[in-house]
Amino acid sequence: MNMRVLILLCIALISGVACAWIVFMVLQPKDSQLVYQESNTPLPPLPCSLNASVCTITYQDSVISIESSMRPIQAMRPVTFFIKGFSNLSDDLVLKVYGLNMEMGTIITQATKEGDTYQATINLGTCSLQTMRYRLALYEGAKPLGAFIDFDVEQ
């Protein structure tokens, strides 16, 4: 009787480990949206630098301008982003900022509207890379607008 219980416990343990491996290794969804570059790989040039000027992006039929309060943008110092050009957008503009060449988490902040300008202030983290590339993505509440701009922060 004890041998039968021991064999059943071993089978149950092996089955549990196999099921856990299948769940965590095989069925785990892969994050296909972000592919981080190797830290020693040179970054391709940006079409516009928020460190140098106001940048524009196209959203639907509108030209959206994005400007930073600090040039150059620096880590560990508050920076305010000013966004103009949305014509049919509610007051629920959300900015999500995340790293493209290193996982730094996601900064999510609600923009405030003053006249025709949205603004939001964030504090970017520092990292070990010489150049950290971030993406500022725009959302209406939880809905992604598909509008974003990339910018670099130098150490």
pLDDT of residue 65: 97
Stretch (H or E) spanning 20: helix 2-21
pLDDT of residue 72: 96
Q: What pLDDT digit, counting tens, does each position of 116-142 carry? A: 999 999 999 888 888 999 999 999 999
Q: List, in sequence order, every residue forming a beta bridge with 78; answer none if it has no partner.
A: 123
pLDDT of residue 37: 55
Of 84-93, 99-108, 134-143, where does mean pLDDT reach its minimum? Answer: 84-93
Percent of the chain with pLDDT over 70: 86
Helix, strand, coil shares of the chain, percent, nearest 5, are: 15, 40, 45
Please tell me the distance from the alpha carbon of residue 80 to that of residue 46, in angstroms, as a whole number. Answer: 20
Residue the block writes with tokens 């949205």:
118
Model pTM above 0.75: no
Helix, strand, or coil (residue 117): strand
Percent of the chain with pLDDT over 90: 55
Residue the block writes with tokens 């970017």:
124
Residues 109, 95: contact at Cβ < 8 Å? Answer: yes
- What is the DSSP code (8-state) at residue 33? S
Task: Give 79's pLDDT tier (boundaries 50, 70, 90).
Answer: very high
State the number of CA atoms in the 13 A half-sphere of 108 facing the CB. Answer: 8
φ/ψ of residue 37, rounded to 5: -75, 155
Cα 85 → chain centroid: 22
pLDDT of residue 99: 92
